[in-house]
Chain A
Amino acid sequence: MKIAVCVKRVPDMDVRFRIGADNVSVDEAGLKFDINDFDAWAVEAALKLKDKDAGSEVTVISLGPDVVQETIRKALSMGADRGIQLKADKAPFDGLAIAKALSAELKTGGYDLIFFGKMSPDSSNGVVGPMSAELLGLPCVTAISSLEIATGRGTAKRELEGAQEIVEFPLPAVLTVDEGLNAARLPSLKGIMAAKKKPLEVKPAQLGEPQVTVRKLELPPERKAGRVVGEGAAAVPELVRLLQTEAKVL
């Protein structure tokens, strides 16, 4: 089976962000970057299929400047076979532009399965996977939490509010991966060494003109300081009054 996984380099979400001087992007100084968690689970899903069928080949694709090669190599060190960087000065905000560039590459690969993370936490659009499927004319199942592949067909589970949905689809198909599908393996030390020797092709990204752009990025307004209305049971009537009249939540 030929499998592709599209991965994105994202900042570590545990740190405090600063807005860049251009007011439309995040200041990257001091940030630590890694593969998007959802994409790491997508890589793991592909590698699990390869574990069962050693003849499979897993290709990892990332769009962006040369630093995304590190993200690709992380996937290679987990066990993927080869990487493709679609080179661009930066990944645009416009999901359709990214999907066009990715699908131009994906349609030449003859892939049986194409994985995406269901979203990336930096831009939170969640559209690149479904848009790529649309451009490729392939069935798409989003936010899968389990996956079985047998004889040219797949079965996946999706978590809905209060229910689970089991869907079936033919291959080739595009899948986007939700939390809970698996736990991504750690790259072994041998895997890290081997990744350096695996092929990593660099091609220009066919992005076209982005139609959606970020005009302004701003931090949420500072929360006002809290107020202590009193202590113990005696303070309850005043607290209830303020919640009713001032906060208007009761």
Chain B
Amino acid sequence: MSNDFYNIDSVLSEEERAVRDTIRAFVDEKVLPIIGDCYIEGRFPKELVPEMAQLGMFGANLPDEYGCAGLNNVAYGLIMHELERGDSGVRSFASVQGALVMYPVYAFGTEEQKRHYLPKMASGEIIGCFGLTEPDYGSNPSGMITRALVQKDGSWVINGAKMWITNGSTAQVAIIWAKTGDDKSDKSIRGFIVPTDAPGFTAKDQKGKLSLRASDTSELVLQDVRVPATALLPKTGGIKSPLMCLTQARYGIAWGAMGAAQACYEEALAYAGNRVMFGKPIAGFQLQQQRLAQMLTELVKGELLCVHLGRLKDAGTFTPQQVSLAKRNNVSVATDIAREARRLLGANGILAEYASMRHMANLESVYTYEGTHDIHTLILGQAVTGINAFE
């Protein structure tokens, strides 16, 4: 971390620092020069995918026997941190591909599915998306309407609609979550690997976003989409399965948010040192120092939280509630840091030439997706009181 005020590098291994340095260099050289324009144009920089794959960013914490890098979870988190230092949309792409597509194939798939899909997903040959959220079921995915009905020949027919699907129009396959059988309970929810060129499958770009503009966000419609029996992820069963995927992704988001925050803090610090007003750099005014001190403090706390959570994840002892705490805190403070950076930059802060307002707008999405801030509050409330306040 270039402004490593708390010497957090000293608790990272050589290998973790090497991973971080590779992704940092990639972001500096390839993402930062183009991302402002991509944001204005409202396009995901698809041209970056081959190099991201070649460097090994997709599913980097999955085993090398499936063509993945086999990194530990701290190194994986550092990848997300650096990618989001570039843009939340670029990090979201990698999060979805790794944590929401490759992870369920790895965790719930057959050996054949793993051997077929994971190497091609690691190499970027197959891009995936994750279809859980529906137009009327966001924070309450258990209520989903999408249904998969088994046919006499063992194949499945899927009907339903999914919304806010990152990579939806880019993907070759979608992990679709659907209720099976007639019981309509969330225990019947299962996951399917659905090719996006299957008859009856349509993806439509969601227009008019003021956030995550350098990301593909789509609506999926499945109308009598027929998939073979082998499309089912056999070890999925109940709402717990997609929630396990979300825990993986949220872990990466906790890291990623601090990457965006770091970009904003560093931009603000550099700007404050250069911008002269009333005859001196604005960094010399107490009001701006207060801003910078507050940003730095929350940045350091959030990053230390990430490293510790990563160590717990590597030890196999972390809980989904701990991930909720990190996602909730880090995205919230990152949003505050981005907003304060934007303000410190004055009028220049509203330009795409600077990163802070882009990050600020992106983080509003991150605040809401993968479990809203409020839902994570209730998860923590339930964890400490034992009382469910959801219903």
Which residues of B in the span 184-217 have a Cβ within 8 Å of any Cβ on A?
none
Query: Chain A residues near B14 (CB, 8 Å)?
Result: 70, 73
- A188 and B64 contact, CB distance less than 8 A: no
**A140: min CB distance to chain B, Å:** 31
- B70 and A188 contact, CB distance less than 8 A: no
- B56 and A188 contact, CB distance less than 8 A: yes
Which residues of B in the span 320-373 have a Cβ within 8 Å of any Cβ on A?
none
Query: Chain B residues near A11 (CB, 8 Å)?
Result: none
- B25 and A192 contact, CB distance less than 8 A: no
Query: Chain A residues near B15 (CB, 8 Å)?
Result: 192-193, 196
- A186 and B22 contact, CB distance less than 8 A: yes
Which residues of A in the span 175-189 have a Cβ within 8 Å of any Cβ on B?
186-189
Fill in one digit per residue for A184-210: 1 if any B CB lies within 8 Å of its CB, else 0: 001111101100100000000000000
Q: Which residue of A lies closest to B76 (CB)?
A: A189
Q: Report how far A193 CA is from B14 CA in the complex, Å.
A: 11
Q: Report how far A196 CA is from B70 CA in the complex, Å.
A: 13
Determine whether B157 belongs to the interface, using a CB cutoff of 8 Å to chain A: no
When A74-B18, A77-B18 are in contact, do A189 and B64 touch as well, CB less than 8 Å? no
Which residues of B in the span 56-105 have a Cβ within 8 Å of any Cβ on A?
56-57, 60, 64, 69-71, 75, 79
**B228: min CB distance to chain A, Å:** 32
Q: Which residue of A lies closest to B69 (CB)?
A: A189
Determine whether B26 belongs to the interface, using a CB cutoff of 8 Å to chain A: yes
Q: Report how far A196 CA is from B21 CA in the complex, Å.
A: 17
Contact of A192 (CB < 8 Å), options: B18, B26, B54, B57 = B18
- A193 and B22 contact, CB distance less than 8 A: no
Determine whether B149 belongs to the interface, using a CB cutoff of 8 Å to chain A: no
**A42: min CB distance to chain B, Å:** 18
Query: Chain B residues near A186 (CB, 8 Å)?
Result: 22, 25-26, 55
- A189 and B25 contact, CB distance less than 8 A: no
> Taking chain A's interface residues, is the majority helix, strand, or loop, or is none over half, making it mixed?
helix
Query: Chain A residues near B71 (CB, 8 Å)?
Result: 189, 193
- A189 and B26 contact, CB distance less than 8 A: no
**B357: min CB distance to chain A, Å:** 27
- A193 and B57 contact, CB distance less than 8 A: no
Determine whether B19 belongs to the interface, using a CB cutoff of 8 Å to chain A: yes
Q: Report how far A70 CA is from B9 CA in the complex, Å.
A: 15
Q: Which residue of B lies closest to A34 (CB)?
A: B21
Query: Chain A residues near B64 (CB, 8 Å)?
Result: 190, 193
Q: Which residue of B lies closest to A183 (CB)?
A: B29
Query: Chain B residues near A190 (CB, 8 Å)?
Result: 56, 64, 69-70
Fill in one digit per residue for B7-29: 1 if any A CB lies within 8 Å of its CB, else 0: 00000001100110110011000
Q: Report how far A74 CA is from B18 CA in the complex, Å.
A: 8
Query: Chain A residues near B57 (CB, 8 Å)?
Result: 189
Query: Chain A residues near B79 (CB, 8 Å)?
Result: 189
Q: Which residue of B lies closest to A196 (CB)?
A: B15
Query: Chain B residues near A193 (CB, 8 Å)?
Result: 15, 64, 69-71
Fill in one digit per residue for A51-95: 1 if any B CB lies within 8 Å of its CB, else 0: 000000000000000000010011001000000000000000000
Which residues of B in the span 142-187 have a Cβ within 8 Å of any Cβ on A?
none
Query: Chain B residues near A34 (CB, 8 Å)?
Result: 21
Q: A186-B25, A186-B26, A189-B22 are in contact. List 13 more A-B contacts (CB 8 A).
A: A77-B18, A186-B22, A188-B54, A188-B55, A189-B19, A189-B55, A189-B57, A190-B70, A192-B15, A192-B18, A193-B64, A193-B70, A196-B15
Chain A residues in the interface with B (C-beta under 8 A): 34, 70, 73-74, 77, 186-190, 192-193, 196
Chain B residues in the interface with A (C-beta under 8 A): 14-15, 18-19, 21-22, 25-26, 54-57, 60, 64, 69-71, 75, 79
Enumerate 16 A-B pairs (CB-CB under 8 Å) in ascending A order.
A74-B18, A77-B18, A186-B22, A186-B25, A187-B18, A187-B22, A188-B55, A189-B60, A189-B69, A189-B71, A189-B79, A190-B56, A190-B70, A192-B18, A192-B19, A192-B22
4 smallest beta-carbon distances between A and B, as pairs: A189-B56, A189-B69, A192-B18, A186-B22
